[in-house]
Amino acid sequence: MNKVSFITIDEAHAGQRLDNFLISHLKGVPKSRIYRLLRKGEVRVNKARCKPDYRLELDDELRIPPIRVADAAPRPAHSGKLEWLEAAIIYEDDVLIAMNKPSGLAVHGGSGVSLGLIEALRQLRPEARFLELVHRLDRETSGLLLVAKKRSALLALHEQLRGTSVDKRYLALVKNPWQGKARMVEAPLLRSQTRSGERMVRVSEEGKVARSRIVPQQLFRGATLVEVRIYTGRTHQVRVHCAHEGHPIAGDDKYGDRGFNKSMAAAGLKRLFLHAARMHLTHPVTGKPLELDAPLPDDLVQVLDTMS
Protein backbone atom coordinates (compact mmCIF):
# COMPACT_ATOMS: atom_id res chain seq x y z
CA MET A 1 0.00 0.00 0.00
CA ASN A 2 1.53 3.32 -1.08
CA LYS A 3 -1.39 5.63 -0.33
CA VAL A 4 -4.10 6.16 2.25
CA SER A 5 -7.06 3.80 1.85
CA PHE A 6 -10.58 3.94 3.25
CA ILE A 7 -12.75 0.92 4.05
CA THR A 8 -16.44 0.89 5.00
CA ILE A 9 -17.38 -1.99 7.29
CA ASP A 10 -20.10 -4.27 5.94
CA GLU A 11 -22.29 -6.84 7.71
CA ALA A 12 -19.71 -9.59 7.20
CA HIS A 13 -17.15 -7.74 9.36
CA ALA A 14 -19.41 -5.93 11.85
CA GLY A 15 -18.68 -7.11 15.40
CA GLN A 16 -15.08 -8.10 14.63
CA ARG A 17 -12.23 -6.71 16.73
CA LEU A 18 -10.31 -3.94 14.99
CA ASP A 19 -6.92 -5.64 15.40
CA ASN A 20 -8.18 -8.97 14.06
CA PHE A 21 -9.73 -7.23 11.04
CA LEU A 22 -6.45 -5.47 10.24
CA ILE A 23 -4.43 -8.67 10.65
CA SER A 24 -6.61 -10.48 8.10
CA HIS A 25 -6.88 -7.46 5.77
CA LEU A 26 -3.20 -6.51 5.77
CA LYS A 27 -1.82 -9.89 4.84
CA GLY A 28 1.95 -10.10 5.05
CA VAL A 29 2.27 -7.17 7.45
CA PRO A 30 3.71 -8.29 10.82
CA LYS A 31 1.32 -8.08 13.75
CA SER A 32 3.85 -5.94 15.62
CA ARG A 33 3.66 -3.34 12.84
CA ILE A 34 -0.16 -3.37 12.96
CA TYR A 35 -0.26 -2.82 16.72
CA ARG A 36 2.27 -0.02 16.36
CA LEU A 37 0.03 1.70 13.79
CA LEU A 38 -2.88 1.44 16.23
CA ARG A 39 -0.89 2.82 19.17
CA LYS A 40 0.30 5.79 17.14
CA GLY A 41 -3.22 6.54 15.96
CA GLU A 42 -2.33 6.09 12.29
CA VAL A 43 -5.34 3.81 11.85
CA ARG A 44 -8.55 5.76 12.40
CA VAL A 45 -12.18 4.69 12.79
CA ASN A 46 -14.63 7.42 11.87
CA LYS A 47 -11.70 9.88 12.09
CA ALA A 48 -10.94 8.90 15.68
CA ARG A 49 -8.29 6.81 17.44
CA CYS A 50 -9.45 3.37 18.56
CA LYS A 51 -8.01 0.66 20.76
CA PRO A 52 -7.18 -2.77 19.29
CA ASP A 53 -10.16 -4.41 21.02
CA TYR A 54 -12.72 -1.99 19.55
CA ARG A 55 -15.63 -3.90 18.01
CA LEU A 56 -16.32 -2.68 14.48
CA GLU A 57 -19.85 -1.55 13.69
CA LEU A 58 -21.79 -1.54 10.43
CA ASP A 59 -20.81 1.42 8.21
CA ASP A 60 -17.76 2.34 10.30
CA GLU A 61 -15.16 4.03 8.07
CA LEU A 62 -11.56 2.91 8.53
CA ARG A 63 -8.62 5.02 7.47
CA ILE A 64 -5.54 2.90 6.81
CA PRO A 65 -2.24 4.78 6.26
CA PRO A 66 0.35 4.01 3.58
CA ILE A 67 2.42 0.97 4.49
CA ARG A 68 5.76 0.71 2.75
CA VAL A 69 6.88 -2.64 1.42
CA ALA A 70 9.87 -2.46 3.74
CA ASP A 71 7.53 -2.31 6.73
CA ALA A 72 5.96 -5.59 5.65
CA ALA A 73 9.26 -7.41 5.33
CA PRO A 74 9.85 -10.33 7.71
CA ARG A 75 11.37 -9.40 11.06
CA PRO A 76 14.62 -10.97 12.23
CA ALA A 77 14.25 -14.59 13.32
CA HIS A 78 14.97 -13.83 16.98
CA SER A 79 12.03 -11.44 17.28
CA GLY A 80 9.48 -13.32 15.18
CA LYS A 81 8.39 -15.42 18.17
CA LEU A 82 7.97 -12.32 20.30
CA GLU A 83 5.27 -10.52 18.35
CA TRP A 84 2.79 -11.31 21.14
CA LEU A 85 4.91 -9.00 23.29
CA GLU A 86 4.30 -6.08 20.95
CA ALA A 87 0.56 -6.68 21.32
CA ALA A 88 0.96 -6.52 25.14
CA ILE A 89 2.18 -2.90 24.97
CA ILE A 90 -0.72 -0.65 25.97
CA TYR A 91 1.14 2.68 26.06
CA GLU A 92 4.43 3.94 24.68
CA ASP A 93 6.20 7.25 24.17
CA ASP A 94 9.82 8.42 23.98
CA VAL A 95 10.63 7.60 27.61
CA LEU A 96 8.14 5.01 28.84
CA ILE A 97 6.49 1.70 27.94
CA ALA A 98 3.49 0.28 29.80
CA MET A 99 2.95 -3.46 29.40
CA ASN A 100 -0.02 -5.69 30.17
CA LYS A 101 2.05 -8.59 31.52
CA PRO A 102 0.46 -12.03 31.21
CA SER A 103 0.32 -14.37 34.20
CA GLY A 104 3.07 -16.99 34.28
CA LEU A 105 5.75 -14.71 32.82
CA ALA A 106 8.58 -13.63 35.12
CA VAL A 107 9.60 -10.00 34.79
CA HIS A 108 13.26 -11.01 34.43
CA GLY A 109 15.34 -14.13 33.90
CA GLY A 110 17.03 -16.09 36.66
CA SER A 111 16.02 -18.69 39.25
CA GLY A 112 15.42 -21.26 36.54
CA VAL A 113 13.79 -18.77 34.15
CA SER A 114 15.84 -18.36 30.98
CA LEU A 115 13.88 -15.48 29.50
CA GLY A 116 11.85 -12.91 31.40
CA LEU A 117 9.77 -10.03 30.10
CA ILE A 118 12.59 -7.48 30.13
CA GLU A 119 14.97 -9.81 28.25
CA ALA A 120 12.24 -10.58 25.70
CA LEU A 121 11.53 -6.86 25.26
CA ARG A 122 15.22 -6.17 24.64
CA GLN A 123 15.22 -8.86 21.95
CA LEU A 124 12.12 -7.33 20.41
CA ARG A 125 13.76 -3.88 20.43
CA PRO A 126 17.46 -4.54 19.73
CA GLU A 127 17.93 -0.92 18.66
CA ALA A 128 16.88 0.42 22.08
CA ARG A 129 19.87 1.71 24.05
CA PHE A 130 18.10 1.61 27.42
CA LEU A 131 15.24 -0.56 28.68
CA GLU A 132 14.86 -1.12 32.42
CA LEU A 133 12.04 -2.29 34.70
CA VAL A 134 10.56 0.51 36.78
CA HIS A 135 8.99 -1.94 39.26
CA ARG A 136 8.09 -5.63 39.43
CA LEU A 137 5.10 -7.96 39.49
CA ASP A 138 5.01 -11.50 40.81
CA ARG A 139 5.28 -14.12 38.10
CA GLU A 140 1.71 -15.31 38.79
CA THR A 141 0.25 -11.77 38.69
CA SER A 142 -0.92 -10.23 35.43
CA GLY A 143 -1.35 -6.57 34.55
CA LEU A 144 0.36 -3.21 34.35
CA LEU A 145 4.14 -3.13 34.34
CA LEU A 146 6.26 -0.06 33.55
CA VAL A 147 9.53 -0.07 31.59
CA ALA A 148 11.71 3.04 31.28
CA LYS A 149 13.41 3.91 27.99
CA LYS A 150 15.67 6.55 29.56
CA ARG A 151 17.57 6.60 32.83
CA SER A 152 16.19 10.03 33.74
CA ALA A 153 12.65 8.65 33.44
CA LEU A 154 13.60 5.61 35.55
CA LEU A 155 14.94 7.76 38.37
CA ALA A 156 11.93 10.10 38.26
CA LEU A 157 9.47 7.19 38.40
CA HIS A 158 11.39 5.54 41.24
CA GLU A 159 11.07 8.80 43.19
CA GLN A 160 7.31 8.80 42.62
CA LEU A 161 6.95 5.17 43.67
CA ARG A 162 8.81 5.84 46.92
CA GLY A 163 6.13 8.37 47.83
CA THR A 164 2.34 8.13 47.86
CA SER A 165 1.51 10.01 44.65
CA VAL A 166 1.20 6.88 42.46
CA ASP A 167 -2.25 5.29 42.60
CA LYS A 168 -1.88 1.53 41.99
CA ARG A 169 -4.96 -0.70 42.03
CA TYR A 170 -5.39 -4.45 41.70
CA LEU A 171 -8.41 -6.65 41.07
CA ALA A 172 -8.60 -9.91 43.01
CA LEU A 173 -11.18 -12.63 43.58
CA VAL A 174 -11.16 -13.55 47.27
CA LYS A 175 -12.78 -16.20 49.43
CA ASN A 176 -16.04 -15.51 51.31
CA PRO A 177 -18.64 -12.77 50.86
CA TRP A 178 -17.27 -9.39 51.92
CA GLN A 179 -18.98 -7.88 54.96
CA GLY A 180 -19.45 -4.12 55.03
CA LYS A 181 -17.82 -1.44 52.92
CA ALA A 182 -14.20 -0.60 52.11
CA ARG A 183 -11.56 -1.49 54.67
CA MET A 184 -8.10 -0.01 55.30
CA VAL A 185 -5.54 -2.66 56.21
CA GLU A 186 -2.44 -1.52 58.09
CA ALA A 187 -0.46 -4.64 58.87
CA PRO A 188 3.38 -4.60 58.82
CA LEU A 189 5.00 -7.28 56.67
CA LEU A 190 8.14 -9.28 57.36
CA ARG A 191 10.01 -11.20 54.66
CA SER A 192 11.76 -14.47 55.32
CA GLN A 193 12.98 -17.58 53.51
CA THR A 194 12.32 -21.25 54.09
CA ARG A 195 15.14 -23.79 54.23
CA SER A 196 14.51 -24.55 50.56
CA GLY A 197 15.01 -20.88 49.70
CA GLU A 198 11.35 -20.09 49.05
CA ARG A 199 10.45 -16.47 49.77
CA MET A 200 7.65 -16.01 52.32
CA VAL A 201 5.98 -12.96 53.84
CA ARG A 202 3.93 -12.74 57.04
CA VAL A 203 2.27 -10.09 59.18
CA SER A 204 4.61 -9.18 62.03
CA GLU A 205 5.21 -6.17 64.27
CA GLU A 206 8.87 -6.59 63.33
CA GLY A 207 8.10 -6.03 59.65
CA LYS A 208 7.92 -2.94 57.47
CA VAL A 209 4.89 -0.66 57.35
CA ALA A 210 2.34 -1.81 54.74
CA ARG A 211 -1.00 -0.17 53.90
CA SER A 212 -3.76 -1.37 51.56
CA ARG A 213 -7.36 -0.32 51.00
CA ILE A 214 -9.69 -3.14 50.01
CA VAL A 215 -12.97 -2.21 48.29
CA PRO A 216 -15.64 -4.81 47.42
CA GLN A 217 -16.76 -4.69 43.78
CA GLN A 218 -19.04 -7.68 43.17
CA LEU A 219 -20.39 -10.45 45.38
CA PHE A 220 -20.57 -14.08 44.27
CA ARG A 221 -21.58 -17.24 46.05
CA GLY A 222 -18.70 -17.89 48.42
CA ALA A 223 -16.42 -15.24 46.89
CA THR A 224 -16.02 -11.49 46.28
CA LEU A 225 -14.31 -9.50 43.54
CA VAL A 226 -12.37 -6.73 45.27
CA GLU A 227 -10.25 -3.78 44.23
CA VAL A 228 -7.09 -3.26 46.28
CA ARG A 229 -5.23 0.04 46.33
CA ILE A 230 -1.73 -0.26 47.73
CA TYR A 231 -0.03 2.69 49.43
CA THR A 232 3.23 0.80 49.97
CA GLY A 233 4.91 -1.64 47.62
CA ARG A 234 5.89 -4.58 49.81
CA THR A 235 6.55 -8.06 48.47
CA HIS A 236 3.31 -10.10 48.20
CA GLN A 237 1.46 -7.26 49.93
CA VAL A 238 -1.96 -7.75 48.32
CA ARG A 239 -1.86 -11.52 48.78
CA VAL A 240 -0.84 -11.41 52.44
CA HIS A 241 -3.17 -8.56 53.41
CA CYS A 242 -6.17 -10.27 51.83
CA ALA A 243 -5.36 -13.53 53.60
CA HIS A 244 -4.80 -11.64 56.88
CA GLU A 245 -8.34 -10.23 56.60
CA GLY A 246 -9.81 -13.70 56.16
CA HIS A 247 -10.22 -13.37 52.40
CA PRO A 248 -7.38 -15.30 50.68
CA ILE A 249 -7.06 -14.82 46.94
CA ALA A 250 -8.33 -17.52 44.60
CA GLY A 251 -5.57 -19.65 43.11
CA ASP A 252 -2.96 -18.58 45.67
CA ASP A 253 -1.01 -21.73 46.48
CA LYS A 254 1.25 -19.93 48.98
CA TYR A 255 -1.10 -17.88 51.18
CA GLY A 256 -4.47 -19.20 50.00
CA ASP A 257 -7.05 -21.76 51.06
CA ARG A 258 -6.76 -25.24 49.53
CA GLY A 259 -10.49 -25.97 49.51
CA PHE A 260 -11.35 -22.59 47.99
CA ASN A 261 -8.66 -23.03 45.35
CA LYS A 262 -10.10 -26.42 44.44
CA SER A 263 -13.60 -24.99 44.00
CA MET A 264 -12.23 -22.13 41.87
CA ALA A 265 -10.35 -24.62 39.70
CA ALA A 266 -13.68 -26.35 39.08
CA ALA A 267 -14.99 -22.96 37.89
CA GLY A 268 -12.17 -22.82 35.34
CA LEU A 269 -9.50 -20.85 37.23
CA LYS A 270 -6.02 -22.02 36.27
CA ARG A 271 -3.88 -19.41 38.03
CA LEU A 272 -3.73 -16.73 40.70
CA PHE A 273 -6.71 -14.37 40.37
CA LEU A 274 -4.73 -11.17 40.84
CA HIS A 275 -4.45 -8.46 38.19
CA ALA A 276 -2.73 -5.05 38.28
CA ALA A 277 -5.57 -3.15 36.65
CA ARG A 278 -4.94 0.57 37.04
CA MET A 279 -2.14 3.02 37.66
CA HIS A 280 -2.40 6.80 37.88
CA LEU A 281 0.89 8.73 38.03
CA THR A 282 2.64 11.87 36.81
CA HIS A 283 4.46 11.63 33.49
CA PRO A 284 8.21 11.80 34.26
CA VAL A 285 8.88 14.34 31.47
CA THR A 286 5.72 16.34 30.78
CA GLY A 287 4.55 16.48 34.39
CA LYS A 288 1.00 15.81 33.24
CA PRO A 289 -1.28 13.16 34.81
CA LEU A 290 -1.00 9.76 33.14
CA GLU A 291 -3.79 7.22 33.60
CA LEU A 292 -3.08 3.63 32.57
CA ASP A 293 -5.62 0.81 32.50
CA ALA A 294 -5.21 -2.89 31.73
CA PRO A 295 -8.53 -4.71 31.25
CA LEU A 296 -9.14 -7.96 33.10
CA PRO A 297 -7.79 -10.84 30.94
CA ASP A 298 -10.26 -13.06 29.12
CA ASP A 299 -9.46 -16.13 31.25
CA LEU A 300 -10.42 -14.28 34.45
CA VAL A 301 -13.52 -12.77 32.85
CA GLN A 302 -14.63 -16.29 31.92
CA VAL A 303 -14.27 -17.43 35.53
CA LEU A 304 -16.49 -14.57 36.70
CA ASP A 305 -19.04 -15.39 33.99
CA THR A 306 -19.08 -19.01 35.17
CA MET A 307 -19.75 -17.89 38.75
CA SER A 308 -22.50 -15.41 37.86
- DSSP letters, 198-266, are -EEEEE-TTSB--EEEEEEEEEETTEEEEEEEESS--TTHHHHHHHHTT-PBTT-TTTS-HHHHHHHHH
Residue ranges, comma separated, of all CATH 3.30.2350.10 domains in the chain are 77-307
Per residue in 97-118, pLDDT tens? 999 999 999 898 754 556 789 9
Residue ranges, comma separated, of all CATH 3.10.290.10 domains in the chain are 5-72
Q: Indicate if 138 belongs to the active site.
A: yes
Between CA 87 and CA 85 the distance in angstroms is 5
What is the structure's pLDDT at 103?
93
Whether the Cβ atoms of residue 274 and residue 170 lie closer than 8 Å to each other = yes
Q: Among 301, 9, 279, which Cα is nearest to 146's?
A: 279
pTM above 0.85, yes or no: no
Percent helix, strand and coil across the chain, each rounded to 5? 25, 30, 45
Whether the Cβ atoms of residue 55 and residue 15 lie closer than 8 Å to each other = yes
Q: What percent of the chain shows pLDDT beyond 90?
A: 69
Beta carbons within 8 Å of 72's beta carbon, 6+ residues apart: 26, 28, 29, 30, 33
Per residue in 158-208, pLDDT tens? 999 988 889 999 999 999 999 999 999 999 999 988 777 788 999 999 999
Please state, rounded to an integer, the average pLDDT across all residues of the chain: 89
What is the structure's pLDDT at 79?
41
3-state secondary structure of 305: helix
Q: Which of 19, 138, 252, 257 is catalytic?
A: 138
- Burial (CB < 10 A; 0-12, 13-18, 19+), residue 229, is middle
The dihedral over CA atoms of 171, 177, 179, 182, expressed in degrees to the nearest 10, equals 10
What is the structure's pLDDT at 222?
94
What is the structure's pLDDT at 281?
96
In CATH, which of 3.40.50.300, 3.10.290.10, 3.40.630.30, 3.40.30.10 is domain 5-72?
3.10.290.10
Q: 77-307 adopts what CATH topology?
A: Pseudouridine synthase (3.30.2350)
The residue type of 215 is V
What is the structure's pLDDT at 2?
61
